[in-house]
A and B are shown apart, each in its own frame.
Chain A
């Protein structure tokens, strides 16, 4: 979550939601969250696990542009 938050602080185009899966099981089901952390990018892309900064940023941009 830290990286997602940092991206939100640094870019006006990025927002970051932290969703606690046990409180919102239907969302977890909707986005097929089977392990945490899982980052859903817009409604389509997703990133599994915690990545190092450079890889996370790259994955976010790739997922955002793949729409």
Chain B
């Protein structure tokens, strides 16, 4: 059974129609001991099918150690949203519900390679001298 309804698909297709550059969804999964791995992969397949600008790569969290290290993934299900380069955006857990909107926005942002952040924010960000890891804890509802 599809995770996205016909209506969802229509809305997502419209939203993704504006993508300018290619986006790769890099999924890390495994068969056992992972509550939402199967559903996450299915959701990503459904989303990728709605735009010819989106590609999906699926890796096994246990076996594909080079990719796990490359993307710095430490838990699953994990999805890296990658544009012309890897901006360091990861989704841990299935991005459904409220998080689905954030997921689609991430796809749009990495496709553009830029955002609508205010000039003041960009100036402030330029002052950073050390790496910053943001972990946003959220729920689907």
Query: Residues of A with Cβ closer than 8 Å to B?
Result: 1-2, 4-11, 13-24, 27-28, 31, 33, 36-42, 53-54, 57-58, 60-61, 64, 67
Selected from B91, B115, B132, the residue in CB contact (under 8 A) with A18 is B91
Are A41 and B137 in contact, CB atoms less than 8 angstroms apart?
no
Q: State how many residues of chain B have any CB contact under 8 Å with chain A.
A: 46
Complex alpha-carbon distance, A17 and B116, angstroms = 20
A-B contact count, CB below 8 Å? 167
Contacts of A7 in B (CB 8 A): 117, 121, 125, 132, 134
28 A-B contact pairs sorted by A residue (CB < 8 Å): A2-B105, A5-B102, A5-B105, A6-B117, A10-B122, A11-B126, A13-B132, A14-B131, A14-B133, A15-B89, A15-B134, A16-B89, A16-B134, A17-B133, A18-B95, A19-B138, A23-B94, A24-B93, A27-B135, A31-B137, A36-B137, A37-B136, A38-B136, A39-B134, A40-B135, A42-B133, A53-B117, A58-B124
Interface on chain A toward B: helix, strand, loop, or mixed SS?
mixed
Are B93 and A60 in contact, CB atoms less than 8 angstroms apart?
no
Contacts of B109 in A (CB 8 A): 5-6, 9
Q: How far is the CB of B127 from chain A (nearest CB, A)?
A: 7
Complex alpha-carbon distance, A21 and B36, angstroms = 13
Are A33 and B132 in contact, CB atoms less than 8 angstroms apart?
no
